[in-house]
A = this chain, B = another copy of it.
Amino acid sequence: MSPQKLRVGIAGLGRMGQRHAFNYHALTPHAEVVAASSPDWNEHKWAAENLTNARIYKDYYEMLEKENLDAVVVAGITAVHADHAIAAIKKGLHVMCEKPLSLDTKIAQSVLDTYKQSLKTYPNQKVMCGFSRRFDDSYREAYKRMVSGKHGRPVVFRSQTADALDTTGTFVNYAKTSGGIFLDCSIHDIDLMLWFMGEDTNVKSLQAVGVTAVHSGLDSSKDRDNAIATIEFEGGKIATLFCTRIMAAGQEDTTEIICEKGSLRVNMQVRKNHVEIHDSLGARRDLPAHYYERFREAFLTEANEFTACCLDNTPAPITLTSSVKAVVIASALQRSLITGEKIVFESVKDAKL
């Protein structure tokens, strides 16, 4: 790897922005956070304490202009992901953008178009959407085993994002701008589905059903707290996704790839750590409280690998095209969830997926 360090700017210092900032600053040996931007003064305080020597801006575009950055991590609210990414892409910077690129399929596509255009000027530029599960050791081993061919062709893909029950109301409020449960939760499963079933495999149809069981405020946001999707692919493959916001015991993100001669599972025996307690309540274990407990290591790997691909000019671990496709599929599922219609995917083909 190149000896110099990647100079990184962080756009947004909310919960996720702080995690990325700390990971790049303290735990990615070949990167250093030289600047960060946030409109929130409280977050500036956090940065002063945790991002030694980094300059902190109120305005993202001012940071872009004044700093000599190699790369930007886009980690603000979803509504500005695309704008922030596009501005950095046009300056020739490497960009790692939090998921989803956008809630709007056209805007997501415009990020991809901008990047394709920019590559003519900056052929070494890397732009990647941060789908952390692709960096998880277990998913990678499952993928490696699948492509070995030993178990035959993948036939059925089943995956779920099951979030711990949160009764504080935070989630209901957040749902107003999240784009819905498929764009917010299932987008990870959709990304995995594309990875495992083939990013070039066309979707033939999809459909979704759901209910609002606990978070009654969701209906007014045209959202649900439990949803099930089924997707048909060309070439004889099917998938089913489940997402829920009411898991009482904790986070349960599990995936199964059923192949012709074997089935690969990730995280079917969910556990927070290696402890088991046997007492008068039976034998029990704790579950992760949220996705970051499950995927913290994957985020670190993501930071280190994105850094490496920028410094070494190797391909980014995830194509931007597949991330746009994920937005298209998630949007269609959300539409099916609300309208009850089965969607046949001519439109996707038109969108050049």
**A binding-site residues for B, Cβ under 8 Å:** 3, 25-27, 29, 52, 136-138, 141-142, 145, 151, 153, 155-156, 158, 165, 205, 207, 209-214, 226, 228, 230-232, 236-238, 240, 242, 244, 246-250, 252, 258, 260-271, 273-287, 340-342
B342 touches A207 (CB 8 A): yes
B262 touches A280 (CB 8 A): yes
Contact (A240, B240) CB under 8 Å given A155-B246, A264-B277, A287-B278? yes
In angstroms, Cα B205 to Cα A228, docked, is 14
Q: Write the chain B residue with the least CB distance to A250.
A: B282
A207 touches B210 (CB 8 A): no
Q: Which residues of B contact A210 (CB under 8 A)?
A: 238
A240 touches B238 (CB 8 A): no
Q: Write the chain B residue with the least CB distance to A279.
A: B262
Min distance, Cβ A232 to any Cβ of chain B, angstroms: 5
Query: Quick one: which of A155, A258, A275 has the most chain B CB within 10 A?
Result: A275
In angstroms, Cα B273 to Cα A266, docked, is 9
Min distance, Cβ A105 to any Cβ of chain B, angstroms: 23
Contact (A278, B155) CB under 8 Å given A27-B29, A228-B238, A271-B283? no
B247 touches A278 (CB 8 A): yes
In angstroms, Cα B228 to Cα A240, docked, is 7
B275 touches A263 (CB 8 A): no
Q: Which residues of B contact A277 (CB under 8 A)?
A: 145, 262-265
In angstroms, Cα B262 to Cα A244, docked, is 12
Contact (A158, B249) CB under 8 Å given A282-B287, A283-B287, A285-B282? no
Q: Write the chain B residue with the least CB distance to A227.
A: B238
In angstroms, Cα B11 to Cα A291, docked, is 39
Min distance, Cβ A231 to any Cβ of chain B, angstroms: 8
In angstroms, Cα B268 to Cα A207, docked, is 26
